[in-house]
Structure 1
Amino acid sequence: MKVGIIGATGYTGQELVRLLQNHPEIELAYLGSSSNSGAVYEEMFPQFSGLSSSLDAGSGPGLGTGKLDDEQVPDLDVLFCALPHGLTAGRTAQWLNRGIKVIDLGADFRLKDGAVYEAWYKVQHPAQELLPEAVYGLPELYRDKIAGKTLVANPGCYPTATLLALAPLLRKGLLQKDGLIIDAKSGVSGAGRGVALGNHFSEVNENFKAYGVASHRHTPEIEQQLTEAAGAELLVNFTPHLVPMIRGILATIYAQVTPGVTEADLKACWQEQYEEEEFMHILPEGIWPQTKFALGSNHSFLQLKIDPRTGRAILVSALDNLVKGASGQAVQNMNLICGLPENMGLKMRGLWP
């Protein structure tokens, strides 16, 4: 299959290139960038030396132009879009009409209500008519809805870590819907490759801070999917934190259990949901998730405990924000919509040390 990436110079774009180079059914035919038009990819990223010779002749030895016109994209089977919000949706209909399947790693198709998108992202949605066509791409929860689709909204990294822990338990009514608290930490790569003072080494190193308090844009995405799982509208307190490391997300979630529910009930629910899932791991008693378990891989790790004093469940979820939280999950979705084995190109385990 011929595959292309727009936004190929960002962290998620680079991660897609790395993963797709190991995919046996893929020809990486096009790389595009909105900010590095005409650059030679392997000169920017020497770890991909030799890549240019495999690119489609229409894209030349370097990146596609920064205009992102439909005509710039050659005929492809799948196009990954790793762009900031607002830059993908307005062009998507043209690609779909050409028979190109689109996987959006940005935020343009994650929210089903255009008004909610506009409220949180402060821009008008450029293609609201496509929102009903987009499927939310979290395979472990929505596999049957994803298979065979042509437009996939790849979830955000924080929502992925949160939903994998919470959604099955809410579906079964094992947790109360009120008072959900999500305390999550991410490595600096989650902020993207753009230049910002708060991401400079001297600002981040030996520092630990909350950001986006009561205002982070992943909040409505989390609430939308948890509302669907619970069958009733709910709200969450979501607070992200920046950790002085490059990769990884660790989410610690607090939820009141439904009266009579035990720790064994919660774990049995997870086990039922994930026992056949290659990328999901419910850890043995006493072993708690660490970001390094998942480093460089598409694997996720879960553990929980009920505090007997408060009756509150404590759920911990860990993953690599650039792989399962973004590009690895996008490849997983590509495999699903194209009828390939879901684990193809994703069999690597975490790096340690």
Structure 2
Amino acid sequence: MKIRVGLLLLALLSGCDDSQTTQKGFAGLGDTAIAYAPVVPGRVFSFPADHGVHEGFRIEWWYVTANLKDAQGRDFGVQWTLFRSALDAAPAASGWRNQTIWLGHAAVTSATAHHAAERYARGGVGQAGVQATPFDAWIDDWQFSTKAAGADPLADMQLKAAGARFRYDLRLTSSRPLVLQGDQGFSQKSEQGQASYYYSQPFFQASGELEIDGQRYTVSGPAWLDREWSSQPLTANQTGWDWFSLHLGTGEHVMLYRMRHKDGAPYLTGTWIDAQGQATTLNAGEISLTPQDTVEVAGRSMPVRWSISIPGKQLDITTRALNPNAWMDLRIPYWEGPVQLSGSHGGNGYLEMTGY
């Protein structure tokens, strides 16, 4: 079982070393998944049900990032993720017969510090899980749960987690609609058709407290929720990705990802979200995404400054990492942290880089 669970976690986590990417694509996500439910175009999303678990699919996650400031203008970043992985495609059994593995990641970043923690749990025994109504996602005492009594369970949320050198307790609110990524929520990841179901809430406003290295701060700022589920989201040729969620100072939001290949050009796509929440898919020909400065982090060369150009939207910016050393030094490591924008638009956002 330990070997099986270890392979499963490789299929979940954002990052792995080169030895794991040789045959099966990045983190095993190129493994075939014939027994599991396929991701196909034309799904009709239903809320609040789709905030919950999707049995039959192999991989699923609830992922929150926040770009925060305190009263003195100091910048911070917060990340919270809950992963669900199915050991088989059958409906989940009760108790210790349950074939679900849960994994939590949480982190806090400042200009001078970055701390991350992880939690593991087996399904069926109450230690971790997700329910759609009222919405609650948890692993141990880490929680992302609704405070709203109305029709939209994501209108008013509480987000909290803690590690050895950090903790945070935030309130997230939004009155804006959810955004379906890709083709009405069908988010393609390769030319061969690998895909996930994917929606976001990029309009959260967060406020609350965080503590890092014994210092407590009252903070506020924009936050972003990503929800994805799939069974085989990558090809065996894809070695990792570079993913951006950006809050522009003019009110728009941008999501971009670049799936890197062992051979050939990366698969590049994105979404432009206007201030009212209207989403427009961006294809590779509309985007220029180029790594600039690199730094040595944990023995790896990481591109922590990028240039991004979307001429059709008059966007020409540079992203710079708040803390270049935002290395998630977990069992399977990767880079993830807040970025700041300059150029045609100001603002901030988050960058995740895997497979380096």
Q: TM-score, normalised by structure 1?
A: 0.26
Compare the two structures and name the one with the higher strand fraction. Answer: 2
Larger Cα-atom Rg? 1
The structure where helix makes up a greater share of residues is 1
- Scaled by the length of structure 2, what TM-score is found? 0.26
